[in-house]
Amino acid sequence: MSMATVAERIEQGRVIALARLNDGRRLVEVARALLAGGLSVFELTLTTPGALEALAAVRAEFGDAFCLGAGTVLDRDSAVRSLAAGAQFVVTPILRHDVVRFCRDEGVVCICGAMTPSEMQTAWEWGSPYVKCFPANVGGPGYLRDVLGPLPHLRLITTGGVTAANAPQFLEAGAVAVAVGSQLVDKQLVETEQFAAITARARGFAQLARRPTP
């Protein structure tokens, strides 16, 4: 999947489902539940034990039905292994120049994490087409709006504390997408195999994303 196609999937979907779990054994079932709910952009963090194997299993099961990302990528080697497992975009929680540079050279979408305006601008100058505002709940939608005032060229994705209540507010403030973790892929629901509940949550976020923004 090309960079342009990945970017299109992210910006059209507007919601990235984020999974940070105790293990990756049920990721195929989670992915199926998300897809049934209308979400097809999915990020699995490398802090999840067995994450790379899970990424490969999801890619083998669903192919390009999912736009699949690897999260919490902290170094170039992790980025290399994530792409080999089937990831189509790479996400860092902090500024990681080696990861951004590798993705840029390989033609892969990188979403580099940052918090302050200076960090966000730095990530963009390095070549990260998207910048992850993390943790977004610290400043809220107003902070995002304030940053984009003098820096309108940034394409921000918010992560950290995103809920069904504030997701529309982040999108209205200028985020191109929101990444939703425990409010969507809840560990307890996964461990108790309540996949229908995850589908219902996914459907709710998909509906929020379809609302027009001012």
Q: What is the pLDDT of residues 117-139, one digit of tens each?
A: 999 999 999 999 999 999 998 98
With respect to residue 159, please indicate whether it lies within any of the assigned structural domains: yes
Q: Which one, of 31, 33, 90, lies nearest residue 64 by Cα?
A: 31
In angstroms, the first-to-last Cα distance of the chain is 31
The two tokens of residue 68 are: 């699949």
With respect to residue 75, please indicate whether it lies within any of the assigned structural domains: yes
Per-residue pLDDT at 175 exceeds 60: yes
Instruction: State how far the alpha carbon of 10 is from the alpha carbons of 18, 90, 150, 187, in Å.
Output: 13, 12, 24, 24
Tell me the pLDDT tens digit for each residue of 46-95: 999 999 999 999 999 999 999 999 999 999 999 999 999 999 999 999 99
Q: Which residue range(s) make up the domain with 165? A: 3-209
With respect to residue 214, please indicate whether it lies within any of the assigned structural domains: no
Q: What is the pLDDT of residue 2?
A: 86
Q: With b meaning 16 or more CB within 10 Å and e meaning fewer, what string describes 35-63?
A: bebbbbbbbbbbebeebbebbbbbbeebe
With respect to residue 44, please indicate whether it lies within any of the assigned structural domains: yes
Separation CA 112–CA 101 (nearest Å): 11
With respect to residue 132, please indicate whether it lies within any of the assigned structural domains: yes
Separation CA 69–CA 66 (nearest Å): 9
pLDDT, averaged across the chain: 94
The answer to pTM > 0.85 is yes
With respect to residue 182, please indicate whether it lies within any of the assigned structural domains: yes
Instruction: State how far the alpha carbon of 77 is from the alpha carbons of 1, 21, 81, in Å.
Output: 21, 22, 6
- Beta carbons within 8 Å of 81's beta carbon, 6+ residues apart: 52
Check which CATH number belongs to the domain holding 44 and give it: 3.20.20.70
Per-residue pLDDT at 168 exceeds 70: yes
> What are the catalytic residues?
43, 132
With respect to residue 96, please indicate whether it lies within any of the assigned structural domains: yes
Arithmetic mean of pLDDT, 162-173: 94
**Total of domains in the chain:** 1
